[in-house]
């Protein structure tokens, strides 16, 4: 086992996903891992994961997700 930090997907073909698909996957992961901590925590962790993986924000989608999280 390597001591190197994993900072990108391991699965074959994962680099073929569009930014939108990657963002959707990150949102699902972060919501699963931190959803019980509330919308602010989810938002903070999502921004961290986006920075770590190089996934870019998509404003029209992001605005809807934030609105949905506030409900």
Q: Which residues of the chain have pLDDT under 70?
A: 1-2, 6-14, 60-71
In a domain, 14, yes or no: no
Which position has the token pair 């999502």? Answer: 46
The SS3 of residue 21 is helix
Provide the domain limits for residue 37. 19-70
Q: Is 30 exposed, middle or buried (0-12, 13-18, 19+ CB in 10 A)?
A: buried
pLDDT of 47: 93
Closest CA to 66 of 58, 49, 51, 21: 58
- Number of structural domains (the chain) is 1
In a domain, 47, yes or no: yes
In a domain, 2, yes or no: no
pLDDT of 64: 60
Let me know: does 45 contact 33? Beta carbons within 8 Å. yes
Whole-prediction pTM: 0.64
């Amino acid at each position: 086992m390597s001591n190197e930090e994993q900072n990108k997907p391991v699965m074959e073909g994962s680099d073929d996903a569009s930014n939108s698909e990657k963002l959707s996957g990150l949102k699902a992961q972060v919501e699963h891992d931190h959803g019980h901590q509330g919308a602010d925590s989810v938002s903070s962790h999502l921004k961290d994961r986006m920075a770590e993986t190089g996934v870019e924000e998509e404003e029209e989608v992001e605005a809807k997700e934030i609105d949905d999280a506030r409900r």
